[in-house]
A and B are shown apart, each in its own frame.
Chain A
Amino acid sequence: MAALLSLSATGPRAVAAADLPAPTVVVGAKNFTEGTILAELMAQVLETAAAAHVERRFNLAGTQVAFDALRAGSIDVYAEYTGTGLRDILGDTVPVRDAAEAFGRVSREFAQRYDLLWLAPFGFNNTYVLMMRRDAAQASGIATISELASHPLRYGMSHEFLERQDGMGALRAVYHLSVGSLVGMEHDLAYRALAERAIDVSDGYSTDAKIVTQNLTVLRDDRHFFPPYEGAPLVRRDLLARVPGAAEALALLAGRIDDDVMRRLNYAVEGENRQPAEVASTFLAQLGMTQHGIGAPARARSLPALLWQRRGITLDLTGWHLVMTGTAEALACLVAIPLGIAASRRPRLAGVAMGAAGVMQTIPSMALLAFMLPLFGIGAKTAIAALFLYGVLPILRNTVTGIRGVDAGLAEVGLGLGMTPGQLLRQVELPLAAPVILAGVRTSTVINIGTATLAAFIGAGGLGDPIVTGLTVTDVNLVLSGALPAALLALAADGLLALVERWATPRGIRKRRITDGREQSTDGD
């Protein structure tokens, strides 16, 4: 168990890298295109200019996860925005209007409070904007956010914007917006919803490629509500000491990426379906910083070709997926079966245990992962802990049901013959309940193989990696290269456990009754 968790803390990539002499830098990224591209750029300059071995922990689920991971040392660097640092991390309520002032403040505070360093900004200011379809804005004569106020329109805002302190709530207050309806949606969905006229207004980023490609209008922030959001590498101080060339390497990117460049890079991934790694290496090549080992741009690969190309990776990811799910299931069995046995004898305990496990089941997977993060950090431990909690209920429920389902008369006969409660349990109740208990294990496992794909959001890897990356860069085939093996794995586990279930079913209750109590016909005399 301990060995497993220590292995799981680093994951398969680190194992593969163990024999390289280069210092290892772990680059993190929040799970959206720009975060991923910036992370790739930083990773590649670290690889080429600092000769570091880079481990990529992309797709981290939001600011809190990425920041916690950085503080905990699970990652060494990720791209952060000054505005996010001020409002979300430092908790500033007084807005800073000036970009240099904002950068100065986060630099001082982060160094003092967290021992984290802001390196020189990349050069763009990706602040929030509100956007509408160009035709709709023109028809209503809306060009500024102030002009929105009197129109009760339909707002579809990203979850992060709804939750941020400097997000929707503050915006409504400052501009006195009369909101017709308000829903939270994934950022990428919001664009589709805008195009399909399901919503009128959404939030976006100023470097968003889709503002151009989808014919949207950015509403002017006439009251200067949105603070500057300059992107910059946020690093652990110890990285700069540990990897000598790291600061210089990252400085190569400083001031090289303005709003327009950033928008083009985003478009290359989102609009042209190119891989972030390839987009980054192409850009670095243009800057004269070439990158080895990336190869020709791999575009529009057919699904079979992609599956074949990724077969080795897929096998690794599948193995890792199984290790996470298997560990969680084993722990769930160790807890749920004894608990279920105890609960089958004590109705009150059964109520409490099933209630608690049931509540666990109702917590959305992402939320449960988020609760676990402060306890176990990013990576496999959190994923296994969450999967364990999800896995408990079906096993617990079936253990209680299975044991309670054993004919009360049979249990009484066992006691009447002089069995101790322990002997009754082992010799009668558990064998008879085994098929039901194993059915619970089977349900639990199949569900968890699916749920484990979400582990990619917290950097735990597994078959969710290509799914999450594919969703970020809108590459359906990449999504399928993770989703198909995950589905096959679930089917295989289901089939295998069905066999185990059949094998564990006592022979006497497996067969159908073949005689029917007719003494004359079978008794012989």
Chain B
Amino acid sequence: MIELRDVRKVYPGGHVALRGLSLRIEAATTMALLGPSGCGKTTTLKLINRLAVPTSGCIFVEGRDVSQADVIRLRRGIGYVVQEAGLFPHLTAQDNVEIVPRLLGWPPARRALRAEELFALVGLDRVLHGARFPAELSGGQRQRVGLARALAADPPILLMDEPFGALDPLTRRRLQREFVQLKARLRKTVVLVTHDVEEAFLLADRVAVLSAGDLVQIGTPEEIRRAPASDFVASFLGMTG
């Protein structure tokens, strides 16, 4: 479970990214943070694994205040997937997948076994794809490797920042459908940042709509579709949906 309490984030230089956001994400559910660029959704994500620090307010992960937590241990317990997958170009797909297990000091045999599982989980072949470098994989394959890397140490929480944003529409739809099945199996707490209304409604149990640092509506996809809380939400849904 993740909880944000009255979180404000002002960047040096004065840009206000969040103005007192409170948000609760129940365990084993998927929350989409939806909104136009600059609304504060990526900032919210980075506050959870402490890549960003709030100006005021508290963030709790599994009931513990992240500002008090050992940041390295915190992050190793949270999977992180970004747009374009963020794979390290100098490492093979398999080495990318094994990064967190290696950081955790797993012995090679255990790492290899886990890599085998993960490649299968995301629909890749370890023998065929594992030895390739990111530049030798397609965009969809890279995104699958990125997901496998995030899941490597079986973290209870998964943060995903526009994970399918850089893919062509067909590939994106296929990966989204596969992800729906995957999350049902894995039962992770997922926070998904997206500006794509369809993607939010397809993947998330609940959707938080953000605008200029404020939470403007939160609810299930049905609730939001049926009763948009404001003209902004209605037009945002209409514009992209």
Contacts and interface: CB of A to CB of B under 8 A. Distances in A.
Interface of A: 409-410, 412-420, 423, 427-428, 431-432, 506-509, 511-523
Contacts of A522: 137-138, 141
B103 A508 contact: no
A519 B77 CA distance: 31
Contacts of B166: 517
A432 B139 contact: no
Interface in B68-88: 72-78, 80, 82, 84, 86, 88
B99 interface: yes
A410 B168 contact: no
B122 to A, nearest CB: 12
A493 to B, nearest CB: 26
A515 B138 CA distance: 6
B90 A416 contact: no
Contacts, number: 108
A413 B82 contact: yes
Contacts of A519: 138-141, 167-168, 170-171, 174
A323 B152 CA distance: 49
Contact of B138 (A410, A427, A431, A518): A518
Closest 5 CB pairs of A and B: A506-B90, A508-B133, A517-B139, A418-B76, A519-B140
Contacts of A512: 135
Interface in B47-76: 49, 51, 72-76
Contacts of A432: 88-90
Nearest to A413: B86
Which has the most chain A C-beta neighbours within 10 Å: B49, B72, B88, B174? B88
B91 interface: yes
Interface string B212-237: 00000000000000000000000000
Given A409-B86, A509-B89, A523-B141, A417 B76 contact: yes
6 contacts: A409-B82, A415-B51, A416-B78, A418-B103, A509-B135, A515-B135
Contacts of B75: 415-418
B176 interface: no
A109 to B, nearest CB: 67
A417 B138 contact: no
Contacts of A511: 133, 135-136
Interface string B118-154: 0000000000000001111111110000000100000
Contacts of A517: 138-140, 166-168
A520 B171 contact: yes
Interface string B97-113: 00110010000000000
B49 A507 contact: no
A512 B135 CA distance: 8
B92 interface: yes
Which has the most chain B C-beta neighbours within 10 Å: A412, A413, A419, A518? A413
Main secondary structure of the interface of A (DSSP, over half): helix
Nearest to A416: B80
A376 B131 CA distance: 54
Which has the most chain A C-beta neighbours within 10 Å: B80, B90, B100, B136? B90
A413 B91 CA distance: 14
Which has the most chain B C-beta neighbours within 10 Å: A418, A506, A507, A521? A418
Nearest to B132: A508
A179 to B, nearest CB: 59
Given A412-B51, A520-B170, A522-B138, A417 B133 contact: no
Contacts of B90: 428, 431-432, 506-509
A516 B140 CA distance: 10
A410 B146 CA distance: 12
B136 A515 contact: yes
Contacts of A415: 51, 75
Contacts of B136: 511, 513-515
Contacts of B159: 416
Contacts of A508: 88-92, 133-135
A517 to B, nearest CB: 3
A99 B179 CA distance: 101
Given A415-B51, A513-B135, A519-B171, 6 more contacts: A409-B86, A413-B86, A417-B80, A508-B88, A509-B89, A516-B138
A297 to B, nearest CB: 63
B140 A523 contact: yes
Interface in B154-203: 159, 166-168, 170-171, 174
A412 B51 CA distance: 8
Given A415-B51, A416-B49, A428 B141 contact: no
Contacts of A513: 135-136
A417 B171 contact: no
Contacts of A427: 88, 99
Nearest to A432: B90
Contacts of B170: 519-520
Nearest to A511: B135
Nearest to A507: B133
A318 to B, nearest CB: 37
A87 to B, nearest CB: 63
Contacts of A428: 88, 90
Nearest to A431: B90
A144 B100 CA distance: 88
B97 to A, nearest CB: 11
A523 to B, nearest CB: 5
A514 to B, nearest CB: 6
B88 A410 contact: yes
B80 to A, nearest CB: 4
B91 A423 contact: no
